[in-house]
Amino acid sequence: MTSAESRPRIVFLDVDGTILEHGSVIASSTVTAIRTARANGHLVYLCTGRAEGDLHPSVREIGFDGAITNGGAFATRGDELVVAHPMERADLDRLTGYLVDHGIQFFLQSHEAVFASEGIFAMMADFLRMRAERRREDLHHLGLDDSDDLLDSVMAEASQRYRPLEEAPLDEIAKAVFISGDSDAVTRAQRDLGDRFHVIPGSMPLPGGSNGEISPLGVNKGAGILEILALLGRDAADAVGIGDSWNDVEMFEVCGVSFAMGGADPELQALAGRTTTGVLDDGVWNAFVEIGLV
pLDDT at 166: 95
My answer on whether 257 and 198 are in the same domain is no
My answer on whether 97 and 50 are in the same domain is no
Domain range for residue 171?
89-216
| CA nearest neighbour of 215 among 87, 122, 125 | 87
pLDDT at 120: 80
Contact 35, 63 (CB under 8 A): yes
Please name the amino acid found at residue 51: A
Residue stretches of the chain with pLDDT short of 50: 1-5, 147, 150-152, 154-155
My answer on whether 49 and 107 are in the same domain is no
Say how far apart CA 164 and CA 212 lie, in whole Å: 20
Of 178, 195, 216, the residue at which a domain comes to its end is 216
My answer on whether 164 and 203 are in the same domain is yes
pLDDT at 3: 41
215 forms bridges with which residues in the sheet? 198
Say how far apart CA 20 and CA 26 lie, in whole Å: 5
pLDDT at 130: 58
My answer on whether 45 and 80 are in the same domain is yes
What is the CATH classification number for the domain harbouring 17?
A: 3.40.50.1000
Tally of domains within the chain: 2
What is the CATH classification number for the domain harbouring 207?
A: 3.30.1240.10
pLDDT at 1: 38
My answer on whether 97 and 30 are in the same domain is no
Q: What is the pTM of this model?
A: 0.87
* Per-residue pLDDT tens digits for 88-99: 999 999 999 999
My answer on whether 176 and 106 are in the same domain is yes
Contact 179, 119 (CB under 8 A): no
| CA nearest neighbour of 167 among 121, 112, 94 | 112
My answer on whether 43 and 93 are in the same domain is no
My answer on whether 107 and 80 are in the same domain is no
My answer on whether 14 and 81 are in the same domain is yes
* Per-residue pLDDT tens digits for 166-201: 999 999 999 999 989 888 999 999 999 999 999 999
My answer on whether 192 and 230 are in the same domain is no
Of 216, 243, 262, the residue at which a domain comes to its end is 216
pLDDT at 141: 59
Of 189, 216, 243, the residue at which a domain comes to its end is 216
My answer on whether 212 and 227 are in the same domain is no
